[in-house]
Structure 1
Amino acid sequence: MQTIPAIDLLDGQAVRLHKGSYEEVTVYDQSPLNQAQKFKDAGFNHIHVVDLNGAKEGKFVNLPHIQQIIDELEISVQTGGGIRSFEDVEMLLDAGLSKVICSSMAIKNEKDWLRSLEQYPENMILGMDLKDGKIAYSGWLETAEESVESFLSRMIDRGLQEVLCTDISKDGTLAGPNFELYNDLHKNFPEIRLIASGGVSSLEDLNILNEANIDAVVIGKAYYEGRISLEEMAAFNA
């Protein structure tokens, strides 16, 4: 199982939201480059970066900070937040991003999402954020009517290879992942690469996800709050 450290960017700072609320923000590092350097020094060559301004505003805002990380540290970055069109996807890939995570775009602009999926299948990740069992989008402020099972099946038929699934009720809570959700997704859709996100609170959580053969996990607050060390995270990638 691959462990992927996370940086959430808000106004150019590394932060975490509590359950997706922009009213509950904790700043962990004023320099995202400094934070990314710590990850690289610990042996990580791939990180997860979210543009929280972009997710809320509908346009990618923090690209200069991400490009600085890529250019100066020469590490691989997957990113999401504020991506709304095929042109946005091309812009980010041209800027050096290794993978682009789309959530709102996949719901609100399916035509461009499918075009991106067709043209860049290995670079596209579906960001499937779940709120009360429904797919949430637009900064987690709206939910889709189509069921998770129906939507995923359609996307897999169109070439989807990778899904990053976040249980919003667990995000930033340190309450433990939604193991049942990830087990069900892994069982029902074994052909996709599944990245778990949200709620990881301990090394034990990582061991359970690893034993369940989940492909990867994004780790944020558990690291920032000292619940899991970079050395413990990196051991899974050895």
Structure 2
Amino acid sequence: MKVIPAIDLLDGQVVRLHKGSYTEVTVYADSPLITATEFENAGFDHIHIVDLNGAKEGAFVNLPHIQEVINTLGISVQTGGGIRTFEDVKALIDAGLTKVICSSMAIKNEADFVKAVKTYPENMILGMDLKDGKIAYSGWLKTAEEDTYSFLSRMIAEGLQEVLCTDISKDGTLSGPNIELYRQLKRDFPDIRLIASGGVSNIDDLIELNASNIDAVVVGKAYYEGHITLEQMKSLTA
């Protein structure tokens, strides 16, 4: 299993939201570069950065901060937030992003998302953020009508290889991940690369996810709140 440290950016600061709410924000650092450097120094070569402004506003508000991390550290970055069109995907990949996570675009502009999956199959990640069992988008403020499994099946048929699944009810809560959800997804879609996200509270959660054959997990608040160390996270990184 690959453990991926997370940085959520809001107005250039490193933050975490509670259950996706923009009214419940905790600021952890003023410099994403300093935080990313801590991850790189601990031996991580790939990190997860979300532009929360972008997710809500549909524009790459924090891209300069992300590019500073890439250009300074030479680290691999997957990012999401504000991606609405195929041209947005192309611009991010051209800017040095390794992987691009799309949620809103996949629902609201499926044609461009499918085009991106076919053009950049190794670089595209479906951000399947679940709220009450439905895929949420637009900064988790709206939910899609189509059944989650139906949508995911169609995207896999188009060539999708990787999914980042977040149980929004768990995100930022430190209450433990929805492991049964990830196990079920892995059973039903064994060929997809599955990244778990949301709720990780300690090293035991990572051990259980690893034992469940989950491909990767994103860790954010548990680290920032001191519930898990970078050394522990690195010890379970394949």
TM bucket, shorter chain: over 0.9
- Residue 129 of structure 2 corresponds to 129
- Residue 6 of structure 1 corresponds to 6
- Residue 117 of structure 1 corresponds to 117
- Residue 229 of structure 1 corresponds to 229
Farther off after superposition, 216-225 or 56-65 = 56-65
Instruction: Give, in whole Å, the separation in 1 of the partners of 2:49 and 2:18.
Output: 17
Matches within 5 A, 1:20-35: 20-35=20-35
Query: How many pairs does the alignment contain?
Result: 238
1:161 paired to 2:131: no
- Partner AA of 2:141 in structure 1: L
- Residue 78 of structure 2 corresponds to 78
Find the residue that maps to 1:112 and give its secondary structure.
helix
| Alpha-carbon displacement from aligned partner over 1:70-124 (angstroms, at most 9, x marks no partner) | 0000100000001000010000000000000000000000010010001000000
Matches within 5 A, 1:48-197: 48-197=48-197
Find the residue that maps to 1:44 and give its secondary structure.
coil
Find the residue that maps to 1:200 and give its secondary structure.
coil
* Unmatched segments (≥5 aa) in structure 2: none
Q: CA deviation at 1:12?
A: 0.3
- Partner AA of 1:73 in structure 2: L
> After TM superposition, where is structure 1 displaced by more than 2 Å over at least 4 residues in a row?
none
Instruction: Give, in whole Å, the separation in 1 of the partners of 2:108 and 2:128.
Output: 13
CA RMSD of aligned residues (A): 0.5
TM-score of the aligned structures, taking structure 2 as reference length: 0.99
Q: CA deviation at 1:232?
A: 0.2
| Alpha-carbon displacement from aligned partner over 1:162-188 (angstroms, at most 9, x marks no partner) | 000000000000000001100100000
- Residue 213 of structure 1 corresponds to 213
Instruction: Give, in whole Å, the separation in 2 of the partners of 1:116 and 1:189.
Output: 21
8 A contact 2:207–2:236 mirrored in 1: no
TM-score of the aligned structures, taking structure 1 as reference length: 0.99
Instruction: Give, in whole Å, the separation in 1 of the partners of 2:230 and 2:111.
Output: 40
Give the fraction of aligned pairs with identical amino acids, expressed as a percent.
74
- Residue 36 of structure 1 corresponds to 36
Instruction: Give, in whole Å, the separation in 2 of the partners of 1:123 and 1:39.
Output: 22
Find the residue that maps to 2:234 and give its secondary structure.
helix
Q: CA deviation at 1:236?
A: 1.2
